[in-house]
Copies of this chain bind each other. A is one copy, B any other.
Amino acid sequence: MMPSTKEINNNSNSSVIKLKHLVQADLEEVNQIILNYAKSEVTELIPTITNYITNSGGKRIRPILTLACAHMFDIKTSRHVLLATSVEFIHTATLLHDDVIDESSTRRGVATANQLWGNKASILVGDYLFSQAFRLMVETSSIQALRILSNASAIISEGEVWQLSNISNINITKEDYFKLIHSKTAQLFSAACEVGAVIADGKPEYAEALAQYGMNLGMAFQIVDDVLDYTTNDEQFGKKAGGDFREGKVTLPFIIALSNADERDKKFLETVITSENKDSMFLECVKILKAYDAFDKALNVARQFVEQGLEALEICPDSETKLLFKNLIIELLNRSH
């Protein structure tokens, strides 16, 4: 399962819920545009799959970021709503293709689209939503927003190709890992924030600051997610420990343990990642990672990104949104699922 599917916080008092309330009216418009742009006169399959995936438990964190960033400035049009929907469509298209690549049969505890309608439908509907994302951007006539989001899309795909080539690669370094999560997660968080500021005519230095905030939010989010892949087993949220592990994805806790391990443990970790029978080795692997303090060390790295995110926010004008953004990134470190 791709980490990007899990949501930032499920606590009803959390900042994400408060941010959602803050942009509630716009978010309802986003939902309406999703319905309109998922319509098709020629095939029912497009709205069926789109509505299924956009309504299966996602909290719309990315469009919320776009809308909230726009609200930090002076909104004169509803173009930010178009861009927020565009961001959600890019994310949805990515999910559809990811589940095909990862051969996933469940996401957030429910069947994936490829499981229900087949890989081919997921590939093509993903392509359609990706095109619709660009149509929405074009509607805003903002070349700057188009540039930010087309760059993000290219970087996301590039990261996915890299990941595909490096499944079960034991030689992945921390730097490789940071580049990967930057492209597959942080880039879209960053672009989501930046286009919100850009479309609301926020000063370039604020847009840049919010881009940095989104980037650090995404990095911290992904690291915490990769720790939780080893440590959480929460059926309520459709999350079973070891999902990425079983797919041969080498993430930060594993990299940290491997670089500190003695010969015997190193041997075991090297064996496990290429083994066909990872399931039976999962608990032993978790034990070794714990022994090397890999989860806490990974969370310390996440904390550094949180701090950088907070720092990036500093120059932005004080506002309720800014305060919620601060809490949002701090709360990441307390995620339990």
Instruction: Give the B-binding residues of A (Cβ under 8 A).
Output: 40, 42-46, 97, 100-101, 119-121, 123-125, 127-128, 130-132, 134-135, 137-138, 141, 143, 146-147, 150-151, 153-154, 156-162, 164-165, 179, 183
Q: Is the CB of A134 within 8 A of B157?
A: no
List residues of chain B with CB within 8 A of the CB of A46.
158, 161
Q: Is the CB of B127 within 8 A of A97?
A: yes
Q: Is the CB of B153 within 8 A of A124?
A: no
Which residue of the partner chain, among B101, B119, B127, B150, contacts A157 with CB atoms under 8 Å? B127
Interface SS, A side:
helix
Count the copies.
Answer: 2
List residues of chain B with CB within 8 A of the CB of A183.
42
Q: CA of A100 to CA of B119 in the docked complex: distance in angstroms?
A: 10
Q: Is the CB of B45 within 8 A of A160?
A: no
Q: Is the CB of B101 within 8 A of A165?
A: no
- Those 10 A-B pairs whose CB atoms lie nearest each other, nearest first: A131-B154, A128-B157, A131-B153, A134-B150, A127-B157, A43-B162, A42-B162, A124-B161, A135-B150, A124-B160
Q: Is the CB of A146 within 8 A of B134?
A: yes
Q: CA of A132 to CA of B158 in the docked complex: distance in angstroms?
A: 10
